Amino acid sequence: MRSLLQSFGFLTILPVGGGREQAMGPSRAFFPLVGLALGGVLAGLDWLMDTAVPPLVVDAILVAVLLVLTRAIHTEGFLDACDGLFGGHSREDRLRILRDTHVGAFAVAGGVALLLLKWSLLVSLPLDVRWELLVLFPCLSRLGMLATMAAFPYARAEGLGTAFLEGKGWWQVVVGLAIALFAGWVLLGSGGLALAGAVVVVSLALGWWMSRMLGGMTGDTYGAVNELAEVAALLMGILAVYFWPTLFFAPLWV
């Protein structure tokens, strides 16, 4: 229970979980569950505003709500990663830029592109699976973040991400994977399982590239993986509906 609350307290705006005096590695197991909760809030708001607010405005509100609910912690990491990965010319230089509190041109351009992508993908969600994808995509992105935490070393001896190194173990990956796969199966049948696998592959590819550039992962790159995995989950979900509707998207209750 403590680990569950720590996961919600770290990844959301909820004031639960206490401080970091306890090992936070076990809380990684519940990252996908936190994503499911966030997705449930988005789907609920989407349903409430369905007939009262124009669709384009609804999707803009959903993007803003996700930023607020997560304290923009992942988006901030993405912005820093844009500056560090594209603005540095060596491993040491990139790590130094990641520490810089100032926002550079790469961060501004990346942030604008990210928010536009998320909004346009939400606008483009097919109506027959809109609710399911709204619930599922934050869950799968956090599974992707968990996968990179397990697969790649940490680049620094200190930093935000080191809180999750103490008490870490492969059982957390198994639990997180089970939560995400079960959610995908219930919501989208075989399509949900395929989408989960695809998001993990994309996340690991991103983690490999970032680790190659930095010598490992950092708290900022974990956030960047989450943001890009959200985009990937929405994009691949939309493409799957259009190109493989019967093969991939058969919800459990059909």
pLDDT in tens, 206-235: 999 999 999 999 999 999 999 999 999 999
State the pLDDT at residue 251: 53
Do 184 and 128 meet the contact criterion of CB atoms below 8 Å apart? no
What is the per-residue burial (b if ≥16 Cβ within 10 Å, else e) of 50-70?
Answer: eeeeeeeebbbbbbeebbebb
199, burial (CB in 10 Å: exposed 0-12, middle 13-18, buried 19+): buried
For 231, half-sphere exposure in the C-beta direction (CA atoms, 13 angstrom radius) is: 21
What tokens were used for 49?
């505003």
pTM of the model: 0.92
Which SS3 state, helix, strand or coil, does residue 217 take? strand
- Please tell me the predicted confidence (pLDDT) of residue 19: 56
pLDDT, one tens digit for every residue, the chain (254 residues): 788 999 999 999 998 876 555 678 889 999 999 999 999 999 999 999 998 999 999 999 999 999 999 999 999 999 999 999 998 888 999 999 998 888 899 999 999 999 999 999 999 999 989 999 999 999 999 999 999 999 999 987 676 666 777 778 889 999 999 999 999 999 998 889 999 999 999 999 999 999 999 999 999 999 999 999 999 999 999 998 888 776 555 554 45
Q: Are 176 and 29 in contact (CB under 8 A)?
A: yes
For tokens 């041109």, name the residue: 105
Q: Answer whether 143's CB lies under 8 Å from 176's CB.
A: yes
Tell me, what's the pLDDT at 112? 97
pLDDT, tens digit, for every residue of 102-122?
889 999 999 999 999 999 999
Q: Do the beta carbons of residue 214 and residue 94 sit within 8 Å?
A: yes
